């Protein structure tokens, strides 16, 4: 089968959307599909990529950027600087979204060319914008090519109902049942929601990763127990809960330390939590703010941690989504501490594969972490079990095979109709 993936994500690196599309593309390739990726995002220049416009290749996958705005125009050097830079200035945001919306006719034209040339049997779209979704869906419908929309979250976290962007995304999430032939949803909760919106042909596809065989990591054997958090201290990560739990741990497990890694420098959230820790003696000696790390440095730091923590707030938007960082953390083989929100408990058993944290009570969060720290192996067995559970639940090749079968059924349904 020849599959085209299209949407406003970078490829092959970038945000969570990029990681999901990259893993899906690699899984499809491993299952024998031909994969072509059309990126609608203004494209940052990658340090190991030849700066040549047009078609490029990544591990057997063809990809190209159809965005009319170049990295040079935006003044970006690499993907790591792009996101924090985008979040700082209104002008950068205007440039970014202008590039996204202006790419729509280019994406439609290129998609139509691929279909006419016999290079497309199935179109897989990742987006929420009604203004971008509708033209892409029309191209597929006019050419008789089955189309699938991938849904990973709702738009409830967007602020400002006076914003045109809010309404564009809101309309996109509500009109997609009539635009696409099928939907893949990242959680069972989203599947239930889209069923109420009239969707009948759906497939739950959780977070995706590769699981190469490797031995479990050796214990660090240091006296202190270092937890690592990776994120931007967004409200969805319940940072207040995390810092309060670390404060409480000072009484029951004084050896616990927290490293905070992510793109929060220069943001109001980052400044707020830095001040909070600076003013609190208990937090000041237990929390380190490391900011943004490069890919290699991040991997090395996580491999050297004693545990990885991912708190999430107990809200509808988080219950309907799924933390892709959880799957990345499970791969490392260290014990993972994650809030029990949404579908997490469908894949991981508390105390065996991971430590499932109470999503609201810092005392209970601290108690759960302290129990693992006090164990003779300090959670090594949980880390090893978590890696095995992740391999069973989130292997990208397994789910890519399901996507191909789902797409083939959609194609047969179109012929029958």
**Tens-digit pLDDT profile for residues 142-162:** 999 999 999 998 865 455 565
Measured CA to CA, the distance from residue 119 to residue 111 in angstroms comes to: 9
Q: How far apart are the first and last CA of the chain?
A: 21
Residue 80: its pLDDT value, please? 38
Asked whether this chain's domains 2-210+395-416 and 225-394 adopt the same fold, the reply is yes
Task: Please name the residues in contact with 277: beta carbons below 8 A apart, sequence gap of 6 or more.
Answer: 243, 283, 284, 287, 289
Identify the band that residue 307 occupies on the pLDDT scale cut at 50, 70 and 90. Answer: very high
In the chain, how many H helices and how many E strands?
17, 14
Strand 287-291's sheet: what is its strand order? 287-291, 256-261, 225-230, 307-310, 336-339, 355-357
Q: Is the pLDDT of residue 20 over 60?
A: yes
| pTM attached to this predicted model | 0.87
Ranges of each domain in the chain: 2-210+395-416, 225-394
Task: Calculate mean pLDDT across residues 122-140.
Answer: 94
Residue 158: its pLDDT value, please? 52
Task: Calculate mean pLDDT across residues 119-134.
Answer: 94
The residue among 100 and 127 whose pLDDT is bigger is 127
2-210+395-416: CATH architecture: 3-Layer(aba) Sandwich (3.40)
Residue 81: its pLDDT value, please? 40
CATH homologous superfamily, domain 225-394:
Glycogen Phosphorylase B; (3.40.50.2000)
Measured CA to CA, the distance from residue 332 to residue 303 in angstroms comes to: 7
Q: Is the pLDDT of residue 46 over 90?
A: no
């Amino acid at each position: 089968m020849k599959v085209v993936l299209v949407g406003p994500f970078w490829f092959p690196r970038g945000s969570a959307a990029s990681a999901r599309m990259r893993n899906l593309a690699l899984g499809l390739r491993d299952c024998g599909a031909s994969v072509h990726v059309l990126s609608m995002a203004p494209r940052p220049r990658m340090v190991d990529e030849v700066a040549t416009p047009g078609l490029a290749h990544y591990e057997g996958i063809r990809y190209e950027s159809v965005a009319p705005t170049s990295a040079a125009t935006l003044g970006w050097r690499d993907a790591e600087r792009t996101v924090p830079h985008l979040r700082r200035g209104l002008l950068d945001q205007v440039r970014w979204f202008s590039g996204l919306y202006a790419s729509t006719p280019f994406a439609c034209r290129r998609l139509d060319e691929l279909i006419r040339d016999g290079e497309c049997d199935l179109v897989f779209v990742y987006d929420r914008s009604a203004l971008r979704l509708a033209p892409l869906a029309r191209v597929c419908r006019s050419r008789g090519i089955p189309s699938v929309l991938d849904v990973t979250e709702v738009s409830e976290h967007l602020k400002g109902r006076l914003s045109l962007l809010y309404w564009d995304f809101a309309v996109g999430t509500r009109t997609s049942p009539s635009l696409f032939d099928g939907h893949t949803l990242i959680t069972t909760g989203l599947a239930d929601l889209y069923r109420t919106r009239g969707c009948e042909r759906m497939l739950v596809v959780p977070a995706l990763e590769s699981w190469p065989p490797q031995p479990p990591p050796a214990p660090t054997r240091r006296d202190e127990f270092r937890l690592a958090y990776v994120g931007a201290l967004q409200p969805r990560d319940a940072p207040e809960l995390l810092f309060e739990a670390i404060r409480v741990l000072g009484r029951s497990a004084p050896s616990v330390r927290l490293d905070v890694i992510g793109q929060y420098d220069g943001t109001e959230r980052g400044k707020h939590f830095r001040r909070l820790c600076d003013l609190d003696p208990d937090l000041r000696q237990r929390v380190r703010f490391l900011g943004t790390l490069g890919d290699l440095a991040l991997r090395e730091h996580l491999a050297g941690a004693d545990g990885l923590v991912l708190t999430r707030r107990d809200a509808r938007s988080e219950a309907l989504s799924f933390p892709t960082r959880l799957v990345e953390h499970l791969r490392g083989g260290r014990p993972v501490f994650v809030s029990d929100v949404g579908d997490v408990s469908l894949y991981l058993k508390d105390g065996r594969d991971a430590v499932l944290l109470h999503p609201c009570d810092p005392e209970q969060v601290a108690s759960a972490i302290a129990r693992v720290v006090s164990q003779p192996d300090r959670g090594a067995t949980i880390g090893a079990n978590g890696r095995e559970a992740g391999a069973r639940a989130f292997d990208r090749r397994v789910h890519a095979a399901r996507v191909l079968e789902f797409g083939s059924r959609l194609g047969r349904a179109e012929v029958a109709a």
